Structure formats: structure tokens, C-alpha cells
Structure 1
Amino acid sequence: MILPRSFASATCRLRLLLALLAAGTLSSAQAQMADSVLTGPAPMATPRPPELPLPQASPHAVVLQTIGLTDVTVDYHTPAVRGRAVWGQLVPYGQVWRAGANENTIVSFSDPVSLNGQAIPAGKYSFYILPKSDQDWELILNRVINHWGAENYDAKADQVRLPVVPETGPMHENLVYWFSEVKPSSGRLNLSWEKRTVSVLIEADVHAKALAGIQKVLAAHPENWQLLAQAADYLVQNNIQAELALQYINESLRLKEAYTNTWIKARLLASKQDYGTAIVYGRRALKLGERDDPNFKTSQPNMRITLTEWQSKAY
């Protein structure tokens, strides 16, 4: 059946199409036409109003610090004092504060860490502060990271609350997060605004992660004497895993004897207070360096001083 081109009204067209659909007499093209009539055009999306590219009153900021092998990131917005009374007024006592402006302040840890001795899993957390008085504050990590500030904050989602005492310091017009006392396995995260600074100690188990990485690389390159020597040297420098360090350095020496890995074994033996054997390997390292390495002269003086120290302890 051929559909007529025009009908008296939309109601007539709808009735006819329904009848044809029920009878199953529509061709494919006619069925598409029926679908178009029945469903009508898709609603138009409401256009988003344009926005002017204006600077924010509290600009966005990100600070990242690597502690050992762990990345610690703070993503926040920076409110300014602008002549206002901050603590106890702009930031009321007894209320959870977003520790910044606009969206939540987010603190991220790429690996498990401890904060002031409290274990924290790797991940992202909203960072809040609860100032109770001038000297009695709590730092809060909360597992919900998509709130706007403290709206809908729920203490049940807190990962940890840390009691802290803020310190009085120089004036900071803009809130700022910064790191200090950064060492291979620890560092301090500080927040400063107006004349208050609060600090938290972050500690990371850098040796556990380093050892896991060492084992992975050595499993892929078991015949690389230099990698084995580097692994042993790391363990000796940090005075950990002495037996594993001995295993690595012996395998390195089996593959190739050089003054570098020979000296590492001498240092490892000295760390175990086996000074007599350490001296034997130390003297061997000196001979290998003088014979094989044109750049050895830069290392030689310190090695001789160390050998003299071992001799005073051995005899």
C-alpha cells in the first residue's frame, strides 16, 4: 500500500499509521516514516551559557613532592586574607573546614604512608581541618573526594583524624601548602595561612619499594653484573639485608671482577666487622682500579683512607 502524501490532520496520520503497523503491511521505508511521525524530532539540548575567562579569587594550585619513591600531591585553591580575621571568624572554631577554597582540597599518596605514625593506604583523600581553638586542631583525611568543600561531609568516611597544634609564624597572605625536612624516607607537609602553620610528618617505606623494584629488574636481567653491584651497593649504603647484599655482590663478581664491585664487597664485609677480609678485598680493588680504570685516581684517595681506618680496627 502507498501512503498518501497529505492528511487532514496529524491525528488522521497517526491513526492510519497505527492501523498499518497493526496489519503488518508497511514496507521498510514506510516503517521508518511511521517511526519518524510517532517519535518526532529529538529535543534540542539547552546550550551552555558562555563564560568569561576571568581570574579566580582563589586560584588553583598543585604541589608535588617525592619522598623516597612515593609521590605526595596536594591539589587545592588558595584563598587570600584580604584584611579579614581568619582563625575563629572566617574559619570558625568547631567547624570542619575544607583547608582551602572552592572544591575539596585533595591529598594523594602513590604508595602507603604513615602520617604522624598513623598508617594510610595509597590513594586520594579530601583534606579537612577542624580548628577547635587557637591551639587544639585536628587534621582529617576523608575518603569522599567529590564534595564541594565541607558540604555533605560525613565523619563516617574519615580515614584518620590527627590531633595537631598549630604554630605561629610569618604572615602568609595566600594559603600555601609546602614541604620541608625532606629525606629519603620522610618529609613534612605544611599548610600556612595568615600567621598560622600546621605540619604533619609523612613517612614512606622506601626500602620495601626499592627492594621490590630491584628484584623485578634483576629477574629480567640476571646476567648484568653492574645491576647486581648497584643493588648490593644500595643495601650496603642503607645497612639493610646484608645476606641478600652478599648474594648479589658474589654473583656480580662471578660474572665480572672489577674494582667497583670488589670495593662494594669490601665495604659489606667491613659493615659486618670482618675487617681482616675487608682489607683483603679493599687492596684487591685498589689493584684492579689502578690496572683497569683510567678514572680511578678520583676514587683512590678516599679508598686508601678507608683502608687505613679498617686496619686500625682489625689489628
Structure 2
Amino acid sequence: MKKFTLLLCMMSIGFFMKAQIQTPAPSPFSTLEQKVGLTDVTVKYSRPAMKGRKVFGDLVPFDAIWRTGANQNTTISFSDDVTVEGKELKAGTYAIFTRPSEAVWEVFFYTATDNWGTPQEWDASKVAATVKVETMDIPMPIESFTITIDDLYNNGATLGIMWENTYVGVDFIVPTVSKAMKSIEETMANKEDLTANDYFAAGSYYFAEGMNMQQAKEWVDKAVEMGDGSAYWMMRTQSLIYAKMGDKEAAIEAAKRSLAAAQAAGNQDYVKMNKDSLQEWAKM
């Protein structure tokens, strides 16, 4: 009898464990990971939906601190020290709180990230940075609350917050130049170990940042010289450097070599870019 009762209990436990109901979360959790230059940026947040409701000025009151999402704190992490709208922000993780209004939002980067919603008592000493950004109208409704990292370039990006018909963008700058220069200097110091890719990475970065063009030319020339003639992307950059330095004939020759290599590799993007450049330079 005892064995039967034990078996019945185990079957009942198994039944209730299997019978657990799973339903969609009203505000699904989302993680956004983005490399900006050489800096890792991660945003974690929950995404409420409009569901026919009026959001800003109603569901989210104006001129009051908002959790900027739903559920637990919306957070952003930076792997390096950054500058946010001119304000310095140390590497680390911050809760994002906002104070929306019709024309301007205040955005707070708060060091305590363990709140569920807004803090019961707002502690100004935990505000690492506060910035103000103007709102922009969106022509189509955004049903789900959305955070983006947009307008990426080597040295920064824009943290975008959008919902309903409102968008705000917070610009931030990352320390790509200092990190890249340190990497280039350390790598280029070991001459005997350098590869074509090392020379190309250093030269193309100098070119992209508008730095020492003569040095960029020497490094990219060395990369092309070390190759077997198939690296159409290297010869493409080489042609652009020559053009930037005013050497049209050398630019055209490099573009022709890049075009031939791109055609052989079947890369139509580079085929088109080289043809466009050759057409442009022929008219100069």
C-alpha cells in the first residue's frame, strides 16, 4: 500500500510539473549587443506595446521619471570609458531612466541597476550623467518600445529610443582612436612578424581617419606588394589613397588591377565601385 501511495504521489507531481502553463510575456525581454569602433555596447530591456493606448503624456506621464521600458531596469553597458552628449561616463553598466516631455527628454545614467521600475527614493549621487535631447516625430507608429544603436561610425554611434510617434537620439563617442593607435604602434614595432593584413589594417585605418596619407600609402603599398594580386579590396583602398593624394594616374592603374581581381573573384560590389571610380577619374 505504501509503495502504491508513493507511486501515486510521484505520478501526481509529474503531472503537475508537466501541466505548467507557458504564455507570452506582455513585455518581452530583449538584448542588443553592438561593437562600436572597438568598444562593446550592450543594452538589456523589456519591450511594452502600445495596444491601442496613448503613450506619451498619458501611459507615460510628461515631466516624471520613467523606467524607460518595462519590468526590471533597462541597462546599458560600455566596455570602455565613453562620452555621452559631451558628458564623460566611465566603463560599466548603468540603468537608463528618462524624464520625457513633448519637446525635450532628460536621460539619466544611474549606477544602481537592481530596481524594479524606478527607485523608491531617487539618489542624485547615483546619477553618473544626465543629458538633454530633443524629440523627433516619427511618421509611422512604433507599436513596440524599441531601443537601437544607430549611425555607427569608427568613433561613436547614437543610442535611439523610440515608441509611439516619438524618437530621441543620444550621441556617444568611444575611444577608438587611442585604442587603435596603441594596437598599430605595438604591432608595427615587430617588423619581422608583420603580414600583408597587418600593413593593410594600419594603412586603411589611417586612410579612413584622414591621418598621415603618406604613411597610409606606404603601408597599403607594402600590403599589395606582399600579396599575390588577388586582394582586390587592398588594391581598391590603394586606388582611393592615390586619388586622395592627387595622383590620378596611379589611382586609375590601381583601380584597374582591383577591377580585374574583383571580376576574377566574382565580387560584383567591388566591380561596380571600381568602374564608378574609373569613370569619375577619367573625367577629372
**TM-score, with structure 2 as normaliser:** 0.67
Query: Structure 1 residue 254: deviation in Å?
Result: 9.0
- Among 153, 173, 182, which residue is 1:212 paired with? 182
In structure 2, the CA distance between the partners of 1:271 and 1:158, relative to structure 1 (3 Å rule), is same
Which runs of 5 or more structure 2 residues have no equivalent in the other structure?
Answer: 1-16, 266-270
| Secondary structure at 1:162 match in 2 | strand
Check conservation: 2:187, 2:194, Cα contact below 8 A: no
Check conservation: 2:243, 2:251, Cα contact below 8 A: no
* Distance (Å, rounded) in 2 between the aligned partners of 1:56 and 1:301: 52
Which stretch of the first structure deviates more once superposed, 119-128 or 85-94? 85-94
Query: Structure 1 residue 257: deviation in Å?
Result: 10
1:139 pairs with 2:110: no
Which stretch of the first structure deviates more once superposed, 175-184 or 160-169? 175-184
**TM-score, with structure 1 as normaliser:** 0.62
Higher-RCO chain (CA-CA 8 Å, sequence separation at least 6):
2
Higher gyration radius (CA):
1
| Paired residue total | 256
State the AA in 2 paired with 1:55.
Answer: P
Check conservation: 1:142, 1:158, Cα contact below 8 A: yes
Which runs of 5 or more structure 1 residues have no equivalent in the other structure?
Answer: 1-49
1:97 pairs with 2:60: no
- The equivalent of 2:6 in structure 1 is none
State the AA in 1 paired with 2:109.
Answer: L
1:119 pairs with 2:105: no
- The equivalent of 2:212 in structure 1 is 241
Check conservation: 2:156, 2:171, Cα contact below 8 A: yes
Deviation digits for residues 22-71 of structure 1, max 9, x if unmatched? Answer: xxxxxxxxxxxxxxxxxxxxxxxxxxxx9854432222112233333333
* Distance (Å, rounded) in 2 between the aligned partners of 1:127 and 1:108: 10
Q: How many percent of aligned residue pairs carry the same amino acid?
A: 25
Deviation digits for residues 237-289 of structure 1, max 9, x if unmatched? Answer: 4321335436645766897897978997786566455x4xx85x669969999
- Among 31, 35, 49, which residue is 1:66 paired with? 35
1:158 pairs with 2:127: yes
Check conservation: 1:178, 1:190, Cα contact below 8 A: yes
Check conservation: 2:65, 2:98, Cα contact below 8 A: yes
1:81 pairs with 2:59: no
Check conservation: 2:29, 2:47, Cα contact below 8 A: yes
| Secondary structure at 2:64 match in 1 | coil
In structure 2, the CA distance between the partners of 1:53 and 1:219, relative to structure 1 (3 Å rule), is farther
